[in-house]
């Protein structure tokens, strides 16, 4: 029944979209659309959660008489789909709750409201789909609705460009997936997933499908070097949609990848994991380095999504390696780590985008160089944003740490892998993962410290107002979830057990029955972690210190001017900015990765104009991968332009020649 209820929910969302057109632009329309979306997605999430917990082993499916006439639309929920439905609808419900407050400030709500429920429905449909046709149509529907939301603020030229790049990359990704499914379906056109699963593709074909899946799903998820659209498009949308795109839609892309590679493609070859691991490692480090160079808060968050996708892919790649070598327990550990990170990232990335949205509403600024001191004016937003920062930096006792810890444990099992390529690659990927975790902490010290701490750099920041209660409720809920998933990870690992059972044939040992709620991935003598105890320990010893010092020593406090080594400067411009904060890291990593250069322009002697220091960064991936392609397409279009102005006789000749050539090809086809 689960899938039937899910379809009712999707139908309700789809019905809401045209209704939203007629509701107009008033606050009533905002309340109705977001309120209804909240209720429906909450219902869908609970439905999926029940499906995951109550009868995880069973799958429920229906076939609707839609789509291709001989195929119909297959829709199905198994454990994998149920887990991703929980992620999608949790994000959807929280974004809707946030938007109940945030959406009131929307300048052109009629450009957002109709597409919003349709977008939510599309993401649900992708996960529900159980045949290639439905999957691809839903995938494209998801791309188009989100594209419409990206260009909601279309008067900004940058947003239009973002929308253009996004549309191109989305079409490219869908094309790759289309080819992948075409190869999977084979010459007989077995488009239903069940039929694909029953037939195993040959090794060469499977390799091609793997590459296409990495490219197709990866371009939506944002793996390097296919990430270029992501930092443009995610920040351009309204913030609750940014949260959905970054926190949820990238996960739907991960779902597509997992579905194809772990489920449909049959038993993996060992070298597949090499591809996935290499992509994951590079993505993780490049993503965070890009993020460190940004001073636009939303763009920083978007780049950071790239990093986390890399971490997820590392987990998935390890799972593939173990699966290919028949180490099912280790594969279950790595897969659980990756999927747990999927959940965690969707929680804290949504939280952080909501925080950025609240800041944007309160100050009208996304540029961190114009913020500062917001902790005084928006203490609650600052608190929840800080929780998100700690969680995403993989620091205990919050949830980001647990999934990275599990990934590290999986890496420590990998010396037993027999293949030499993996023996060299896995330690390197481990180093990249460690590097990206450390850089992430640096990145979020910068993001939080420059935006929320210090002194306000502009009047807008100085006069910010705390955000509304709906937005805060959504953020508090997600912050609480960060803590719960961090201190009670056993519950979440157990919930992922049926997914691992489906994909790798076994699951991690049952966790929630263990003493003190510890998590033990393999054996207690090997490794264990207890977030709850660490959290209680830290809280108790911190409180003990407060109590002891205030009782026994001193609790007096005086306010005075800042000390600053005796030279305090009242101008807030003397504070460290986002760029100056990142300067040491830019020098260490950026000179090679971004060809970063600092150019100091001194005025001529005697002149009174100011000296200028400019920083030049080159995006080498754009310069070497995208610019040549764009240049070639432009060149080809220019050359082909003459074909537009031919006479009718020439056109007829062209058509005739093409026909003859095609017939010749057909005639000589073996």
By beta-carbon proximity to another protein, the closer residue of 205 and 435 is: 435
171 binds another protein (CB under 8 A): no
By beta-carbon proximity to another protein, the closer residue of 71 and 411 is: 411
Q: At what angle do helices 115-128 and 250-258 cross, to 10 degrees?
A: 20
In the complex, what is the shortest distance from the CB of residue 543 to another protein, in angstroms, rounded to a whole number? 8
* Choice from 529, 590, 593, 594 touching another protein (CB under 8 A): 529
CA–CA–CA angle 435, 436, 438 (5° rounding): 65
SS3 of 525-550: the string is CCCCECHHHHHHHHHHHHHHHHHHHH
* Choice from 188, 267, 513, 554 touching another protein (CB under 8 A): 554
With beta carbons less than 8 A apart as the criterion, state whether 76 and 128 touch.
yes
Return the DSSP state at 67.
S
* Choice from 405, 492, 594, 626 touching another protein (CB under 8 A): 405
Residue 253, number of CB atoms within 10 A of its CB: 24
418 binds another protein (CB under 8 A): no
In the complex, what is the shortest distance from the CB of residue 231 to another protein, in angstroms, rounded to a whole number? 21
The DSSP code sequence of 78-136 is -HHHHHHHHHHHHHHHHHHHHHHHHGGG-S-GGGTTTHHHHHHHHHHHHHHB-BHHHHH
Part in contact with another protein (CB under 8 A); list of ranges 99-107, 444-452, 604-612, 616-624: 444-452
Identify residues 531-550 at the interface with another protein (CB under 8 A). 533-534, 537-539, 541-542, 545-546, 549
490: closest CA among 471, 515, 456?
515
In the complex, what is the shortest distance from the CB of residue 505 to another protein, in angstroms, rounded to a whole number? 25
**For 455, phi and psi rounded to 5 degrees?**
-110, 150
Identify residues 385-404 at the interface with another protein (CB under 8 A). 386, 390, 393-396, 401
588 binds another protein (CB under 8 A): yes
Identify residues 496-525 at the interface with another protein (CB under 8 A). 516, 518, 524-525
431 binds another protein (CB under 8 A): yes
Cα 318 from Cα 313, distance rounded (Å):
8
By beta-carbon proximity to another protein, the closer residue of 172 and 383 is: 383
**What string marks each residue from 447 to 476 as x (binds another protein by CB under 8 A) or -?**
-xxx--xxx---------------------
Alpha helices for 153-192 (secondary structure H): 157-185
With beta carbons less than 8 A apart as the criterion, state whether 590 and 596 touch.
yes
By beta-carbon proximity to another protein, the closer residue of 39 and 533 is: 533
In the complex, what is the shortest distance from the CB of residue 583 to another protein, in angstroms, rounded to a whole number? 7
* Choice from 149, 236, 426, 482 touching another protein (CB under 8 A): 426
564 binds another protein (CB under 8 A): yes
By beta-carbon proximity to another protein, the closer residue of 442 and 484 is: 442
278 binds another protein (CB under 8 A): no
Record the tokens describing residue 381, joined without a space: 């937003």
120 binds another protein (CB under 8 A): no
With beta carbons less than 8 A apart as the criterion, state whether 389 and 444 touch.
yes
592 binds another protein (CB under 8 A): no
Q: How many residues bind another protein (CB under 8 A)?
A: 89
Q: At what angle do helices 399-412 and 297-324 cross, to 10 degrees?
A: 30
Q: Is 394 left (phi over 0), alpha (psi -120 to 50) or beta?
A: left
- Stated as kind and residue range, the H or E segment containing 359 is helix 328-363
**What string marks each residue from 367 to 386 as x (binds another protein by CB under 8 A) or -?**
-----xx-xx--x--x---x
Cα 292 from Cα 309, distance rounded (Å):
16
By beta-carbon proximity to another protein, the closer residue of 442 and 620 is: 442
Record the tokens describing residue 493, joined without a space: 């690992």
By beta-carbon proximity to another protein, the closer residue of 354 and 581 is: 581
């Amino acid at each position: 029944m689960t899938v039937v209820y899910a379809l009712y929910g999707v139908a309700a969302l789809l019905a809401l979209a045209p209704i939203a057109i007629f509701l107009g632009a008033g606050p009533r329309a905002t309340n109705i659309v977001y309120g209804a979306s909240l209720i429906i997605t909450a219902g869908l999430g609970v439905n999926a959660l029940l499906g995951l917990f109550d009868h995880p082993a069973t799958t429920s499916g229906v076939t609707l008489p839609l789509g291709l006439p001989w195929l119909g639309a297959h829709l199905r929920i198994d454990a994998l789909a149920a887990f991703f439905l929980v992620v999608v609808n949790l994000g959807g419900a929280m974004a809707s709750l946030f938007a109940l407050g945030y959406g009131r400030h929307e300048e052109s709500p009629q450009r957002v409201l109709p597409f919003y429920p349709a977008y939510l429905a599309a993401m649900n449909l992708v996960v529900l789909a159980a045949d290639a046709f439905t999957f691809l149509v839903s995938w494209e529907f998801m791309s188009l609705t989100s594209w419409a939301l990206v260009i909601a603020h279309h008067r900004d030229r940058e947003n239009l460009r973002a929308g253009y790049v996004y549309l191109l990359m989305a079409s490219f990704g869908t094309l790759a997936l289309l080819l992948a499914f075409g190869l999977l379906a084979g010459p007989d056109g077995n488009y239903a997933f069940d039929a694909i699963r029953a037939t195993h593709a040959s090794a060469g074909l499977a390799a091609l499908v793997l590459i296409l899946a990495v490219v197709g799903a990866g371009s939506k998820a944002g793996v390097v070097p296919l990430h270029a659209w992501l930092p443009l498009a995610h920040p351009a949308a309204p913030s609750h949609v940014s949260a959905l795109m970054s926190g949820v839609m990238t996960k739907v892309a991960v779902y597509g990848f997992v579905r194809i590679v772990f489920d449909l493609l049959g038993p993996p070859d060992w070298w597949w994991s090499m591809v996935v691991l290499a992509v994951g490692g590079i993505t993780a480090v490049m993503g965070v380095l890009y993020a460190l160079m940004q001073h636009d808060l939303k763009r920083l968050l978007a780049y950071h999504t790239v990093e986390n996708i890399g971490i997820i892919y590392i987990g998935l790649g390890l799972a593939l390696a173990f699966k290919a070598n028949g180490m099912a327990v280790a594969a279950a550990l790595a897969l659980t780590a990756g999927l747990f990170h999927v959940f965690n990232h969707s929680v804290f990335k949504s939280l952080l985008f909501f925080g950025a949205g609240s800041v944007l509403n309160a100050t009208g600024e996304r540029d961190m160089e114009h913020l500062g001191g917001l902790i005084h004016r928006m203490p609650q937003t600052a608190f929840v944003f800080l929780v998100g920062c700690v969680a995403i930096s993989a620091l205990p006792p919050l949830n980001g740490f647990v999934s990275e810890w599990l990934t590290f444990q999986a890496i420590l099992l990998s010396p037993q892998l027999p293949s030499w390529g993996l023996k060299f690659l896995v330690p390197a990927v481990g180093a990249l993962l460690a590097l990206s975790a450390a850089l992430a902490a640096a990145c979020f010290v910068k993001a939080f410290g420059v935006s929320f701490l210090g002194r306000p750099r502009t009047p807008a920041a100085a006069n910010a107002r705390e955000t509304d209660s709906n937005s805060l409720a959504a953020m508090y809920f997600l912050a609480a979830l960060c803590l719960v998933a961090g201190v009670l990870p056993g519950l979440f690992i157990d919930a992922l057990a049926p997914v691992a059972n489906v994909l790798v044939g076994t699951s991690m040992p049952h966790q929630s029955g263990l003493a003190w709620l510890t998590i033990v991935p393999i054996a207690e003598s090997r490794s264990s972690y207890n977030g709850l105890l660490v959290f209680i320990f830290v809280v108790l010893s911190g409180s003990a210190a407060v109590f002891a010092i205030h009782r026994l020593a001193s609790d007096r406090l005086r306010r005075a001017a800042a000390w600053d080594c005796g030279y305090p400067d009242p101008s807030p411009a003397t504070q460290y900015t986002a760029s100056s904060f990142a300067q040491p890291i830019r020098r260490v990593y950026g000179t090679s990765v971004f060809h970063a250069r600092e150019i100091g322009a001194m005025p001529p002697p005697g002149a009174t104009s100011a000296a200028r220091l400019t920083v030049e960064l080159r995006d080498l991936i754009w310069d070497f991968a995208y610019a040549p392609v764009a240049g070639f397409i432009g060149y080809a279009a220019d050359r082909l332009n003459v074909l537009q102005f031919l006479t009718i006789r020439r056109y007829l000749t062209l058509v005739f020649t093409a026909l003859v050539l095609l017939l010749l090809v057909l005639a000589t086809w073996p």
